[in-house]
Amino acid sequence: MDSIIRGKTPENIEQQCLQLCADYLSGQWLNISREQLSFKRITGGFTNQMYFCSLPYDMKPISCEPKQVVIKFYGEKHFKTNDETLDDRQRFTDGIIGLTVANNKLGPQIYGLFPSGQIMDFIEV
């Protein structure tokens, strides 16, 4: 089956991801450049865009920061209301659900929530 990529990848997305990792994860994420970042778009998202980010292979974490993460950027909701404030609350609810799932060890750990998405643990399958 072919990989599905929906939506255009933003031009500066790699730099945005690196900045989010530096802001939320600290440690070695503060010490790497864009050229050192291992980066790949994960395919198949229906509305959200997801990106894999990793420290360089030979770089060890300083403390407890993760070596690999997934950054999810929220796409447009399919079931929108006419009330934009309600749509914003739905995204907030998405984050709360993600945290609840993570805290119950039913999904990936959430490392950061930001208005347009979240940073979570990369789980290799």
29 neighbors 55 (Cβ within 8 angstroms): yes
Within a domain: 106: yes
Structural domain boundaries, residue 52: 13-121
- pTM for the whole thing? 0.81
Within a domain: 50: yes
Of the pLDDT bands very low, low, confident and very high (cuts 50, 70, 90), residue 102 is confident
Within a domain: 1: no
Within a domain: 7: no
Within a domain: 27: yes
**pLDDT in the model for residue 5:** 56
Residue 86 sits in a domain whose CATH number is 3.30.200.20
Hey, which bits of the chain come out as E strands? Answer: 38-42, 49-54, 68-73, 110-114, 117-121
Q: pLDDT tens digits, residue range 24-76?
A: 999 999 999 999 999 999 976 667 889 999 999 999 999 899 999 999 988 77
Domain count, the chain: 1
**pLDDT in the model for residue 8:** 79
Average pLDDT over residues 90-113: 83
Q: Which helix (H) or strand (E) holds 109?
A: none
**pLDDT in the model for residue 95:** 77
Q: What does the chain come to in residues?
A: 125
Within a domain: 112: yes
